[in-house]
Amino acid sequence: MKRAELWIGLVLVAGVVALALLSFVWTPFNPTGVGSAPRLAPPGWPHVLGTDHMGIDTFSRILVGARSALYVGIIAVGIAALVGVPLGILAAWLPRWGAEGMMRAVDVAYAFPALLLAILLAGVFGASTETAMLAIGIATIPAFIRVTRAGALSVLASDYVLAARASGTPVPVIAVRHVLPNIAHLVGVQASVSFAMAILAEAALSYLGLGTPPTVPSWGRMLGDAQTYLFSHPGQAVWPGLAIAGAVLGFNLVGDGLRDFLDPKLQEVS
Amino acid sequence: MTALFEVHGLTRVYTTGRRSVVALEDVSLTVEPGQRLGIVGESGSGKSTLVRLMAGLDRPTSGTVHFGGRPVSGVPERQLGFLRASVQFVFQDPRSSLNPRMRVGDVVAEPLRSPLVRRELGALDQRRRVAEVLDAVGLPADAASRYPHEFSGGQRQRIAIARALAPSPQVLIADEAVSALDVSVRAHVLNLLMALVDDLGLTLLFVSHDLAVVRHVCPDAVVLQGGRIVERGPTQRLFTAPEHPYTARLVAAIPTFRARS
């Protein structure tokens, strides 16, 4: 049953990746330029998903939009993991008062809305894909710190770490040799869940005009554009909406599936 | 002959929030080279705290530990090379004392890779040493390239013993080293441990809750209760004529088997 979840998630994720890869080599029409095509055309031929209010082929924009979604997800999760994992291990190693102080700071950061941070950064640096990625990445750091610290604490309490210390193994070596490999699965699960949230956040920011600029196709911006025509042409919102839902669902299912798959309670204990 | 370990007035208090727990209180003892000393007590009696303090893995609240005449407590880690190469542990549960993501060869070689131990031992062929100790504990040579989960509980404890022997230590601290093993393999591992201690002339600190096992292994023992040493002496005497009621209770708790008529 849980296996099925993981597989559905993997298929959806693979689909998004395939769309993004395909967009590099082929799109049926120019995804950015205004053509001579009719505006707001319903799905049909040659525009299989119709055209938007500028007469641009929707399917082509969906393809290229997958690229933006993955790009933002990878960079944002990358920032969060690269900063959050070392800080999480540090928080596990610190003496109690130091760790307490750090985790309270993490709590405060956790409570700070990502959207507000994005608006702040967009105000300072101007709205761009990079600003959106940075904002989403920074906002995701606390989640990685928490997950890493929880995992690292249990690894650091194990006898194999005590044995390593009894031989005088330096702390950084213990972190790399013992802690990292034994929390990799936790970080992996967190990464796929955060990836889904990053795609959703990018869509939200682009919808608000704080993310990807209008010239670059993005699912969130497509949704924002479609809103204007929601009553006259409700079909416009369907395709980017489906794409976002599919990608987010996919990454969430992969995260959930991995968590169950890697759950030590389900592993063979001999 | 000078004592190997000198422990004087060792006290360790753990503080969590407003509560504090005295894990060890005013413990003094000496360990001679080549001695086999049993450290007996129920869980929570302070046995593990004591050996961890002796191995410099924790800081005492007060009191001192000397190893070979040199102070251990309060000394920065990088100056503990003499201790790190000389004192090695075998823990209770080989499932949690072997990193599941490391190959056995790397597990056993880990002490040899520590900069402190390397400084003490000088140049050393790590691979050869790993092969030597794996052979000494009766594991096949190809064990080095496999992972801990591919071995049975008894074999895993042999891996842990091999790791402890790798840097040629003077002292082996066995912290409940056979308690988690099946009764059927316990005797095998115990006999192996004793044979190695004999052959290599090791000093042994044998921590156990099981007085029967301690009697089998150690001529002398100390009995800990609530962080204090309540009795010490030859193990045989502790058995036959316990002076402290706690020791008597531990002796009485050992299951005895009589043939049913």
In which band, very low, low, confident or very high, does the pLDDT at A268 lie, cut at 50, 70 and 90? very low
Report pLDDT for B90: 95
Residue A78, pLDDT > 90, answer yes
Residue B81, pLDDT > 60, answer yes
Q: Which of A140-144, A220-224, B191-195, B242-246 has the lowest mean pLDDT?
A: A220-224
The answer to whether position A74 is within a domain reads yes
The answer to whether position B91 is within a domain reads yes
Report pLDDT for B257: 66
Report pLDDT for A234: 85
Please tell me which of the candidates B101, B102, B167 has its beta carbon nearest to residue A167. Answer: B167
CB atoms within 10 A of CB B125: 10
Give residue A257's domain range: 2-20+69-263
Residue A220, pLDDT > 90, answer no
What is the mean predicted confidence (pLDDT) over B225-252?
90
Residue A264, pLDDT > 60, answer no
Tell whether A163 is within 8 A of chain B (Cβ): yes
Report pLDDT for A26: 86
What is the mean predicted confidence (pLDDT) over A49-76?
89
- Inspect the interface and report whether the beta carbons of B84 and A167 lie closer than 8 Å: yes
Q: Give the dihedral of Cα atoms B29, B30, B35, B41; nearest 10 deg.
A: 10
Q: Residue count of chain A, please give it.
A: 270
- Inspect the interface and report whether the beta carbons of B152 and A270 lie closer than 8 Å: yes
What is the mean predicted confidence (pLDDT) over B96-102?
92
The answer to whether position A185 is within a domain reads yes
Mean pLDDT of chain B: 91
- Inspect the interface and report whether the beta carbons of A168 and B114 lie closer than 8 Å: yes
CB atoms within 10 A of CB B116: 22
Could you give the CA distance from residue B137 to residue A195 in angstroms, rounded to a whole number? 48
Could you give the CA distance from residue A237 to residue B31 in angstroms, rounded to a whole number? 79
Mean pLDDT of chain A: 88
In which band, very low, low, confident or very high, does the pLDDT at A175 lie, cut at 50, 70 and 90? very high
Contacts of B97 in chain A (CB under 8 A): 158-160, 162-163
The answer to whether position B3 is within a domain reads no
Pick the residue with more confidence: A97 or A82? A82
Residue A52 vs residues A16, A145, A154, A233: alpha-carbon distances, Å: 21, 42, 53, 10
What is the mean predicted confidence (pLDDT) over A18-24?
93
Q: Are A168 and B116 in contact (CB under 8 A)?
A: yes
The answer to whether position A162 is within a domain reads yes
Tell whether A170 is within 8 A of chain B (Cβ): yes
Contacts of B182 in chain A (CB under 8 A): none
The answer to whether position B145 is within a domain reads yes
In which band, very low, low, confident or very high, does the pLDDT at B175 lie, cut at 50, 70 and 90? very high
What is the mean predicted confidence (pLDDT) over B129-145?
94
Selection from B1, B56, B58 nearest residue B30 by Cα: B1
Pick the residue with more confidence: B88 or A32? B88
Residue of chain A whose Cα is closest to the Cα of B77: A168
The answer to whether position A49 is within a domain reads no
What is the mean predicted confidence (pLDDT) over A170-193?
93
Tell whether A177 is within 8 A of chain B (Cβ): yes
Residue A270, pLDDT > 50, answer no
The answer to whether position A199 is within a domain reads yes
- Number of structural domains (chain B) is 1
Q: Are B82 and B88 in contact (CB under 8 A)?
A: no
- Inspect the interface and report whether the beta carbons of B96 and A167 lie closer than 8 Å: no
Q: Which residues of chain B have a Cβ shorter than 8 Å from any chain A Cβ?
A: 52, 55, 57, 77, 80-81, 84, 87-89, 91-93, 95-102, 107, 110-111, 113-117, 149, 152-153, 160, 163-164, 167
Task: Report the CATH number at residue B104.
Answer: 3.40.50.300
Residue A135, pLDDT > 70, answer yes
Order across the sheet with B19-31: list the strands: B19-31, B5-16, B62-67, B70-71
The answer to whether position B208 is within a domain reads no
ipTM of the complex: 0.90
Q: What H or E segment, with its residue span, contains residue B205?
A: strand B203-208
DSSP secondary structure string, B133-179?
Answer: HHHHTT--GGGGGS-GGGS-HHHHHHHHHHHHHTT--SEEEEESTTT
Q: Distance (Å) from the C-alpha of residue B244 to the closest C-alpha of chain A?
A: 33
Report pLDDT for B259: 59
Selection from A200, A202, A210, A208 nearest residue A249 by Cα: A200
In which band, very low, low, confident or very high, does the pLDDT at A224 lie, cut at 50, 70 and 90? confident
Contacts of A162 in chain B (CB under 8 A): 52, 57, 89, 91, 97
Pick the residue with more confidence: A190 or A95? A190
Tokens in use for A233? 């042409």
The answer to whether position B259 is within a domain reads no
In which band, very low, low, confident or very high, does the pLDDT at B258 lie, cut at 50, 70 and 90? low
Percent with pLDDT over 70 in chain A: 95
- Inspect the interface and report whether the beta carbons of B57 and A164 lie closer than 8 Å: no
Residue to mutate among A156, A158, A159, A185, with most B CBs inside 10 A, is: A159
In which band, very low, low, confident or very high, does the pLDDT at A17 lie, cut at 50, 70 and 90? very high
Report pLDDT for A49: 84
The answer to whether position A214 is within a domain reads yes
Residue of chain B whose Cα is closest to the Cα of A100: B17
Tokens in use for B127? 């691979």
In which band, very low, low, confident or very high, does the pLDDT at A19 lie, cut at 50, 70 and 90? very high
Residue to mutate among A160, A162, A262, with most B CBs inside 10 A, is: A160
Task: Report the CATH number at residue A222.
Answer: 1.10.3720.10
Contacts of A160 in chain B (CB under 8 A): 96-99, 107
Q: How far apart are the first and last CA of chain A?
A: 25
Contacts of B100 in chain A (CB under 8 A): 182
Residue B176, pLDDT > 50, answer yes
Residue A269, pLDDT > 50, answer no
The answer to whether position A209 is within a domain reads yes
What is the mean predicted confidence (pLDDT) over A30-58?
80
Residue A265, pLDDT > 60, answer no
What is the mean predicted confidence (pLDDT) over B19-36?
93
Residue B130, pLDDT > 90, answer yes
- Inspect the interface and report whether the beta carbons of B91 and A163 lie closer than 8 Å: yes
SS (H, E, C) B50-96: HHHHHCCCCCCCEEEEEECCEECCCCCHHHCHHHHCCEEEECCCHHH
Could you give the CA distance from residue A15 to residue A36 in angstroms, rounded to a whole number? 30
In which band, very low, low, confident or very high, does the pLDDT at A138 lie, cut at 50, 70 and 90? very high
Contacts of A164 in chain B (CB under 8 A): 110, 114
Report pLDDT for B15: 86
Residue B205, pLDDT > 90, answer yes
Give residue B96's domain range: 87-169
Q: Which residue has the tokens 């009766």?
A: B138
Report pLDDT for A139: 92
Q: Distance (Å) from the C-alpha of residue A251 to the closest C-alpha of chain B?
A: 26
- Number of structural domains (chain A) is 1
Pick the residue with more confidence: B159 or A230? B159
Contacts of B95 in chain A (CB under 8 A): 269
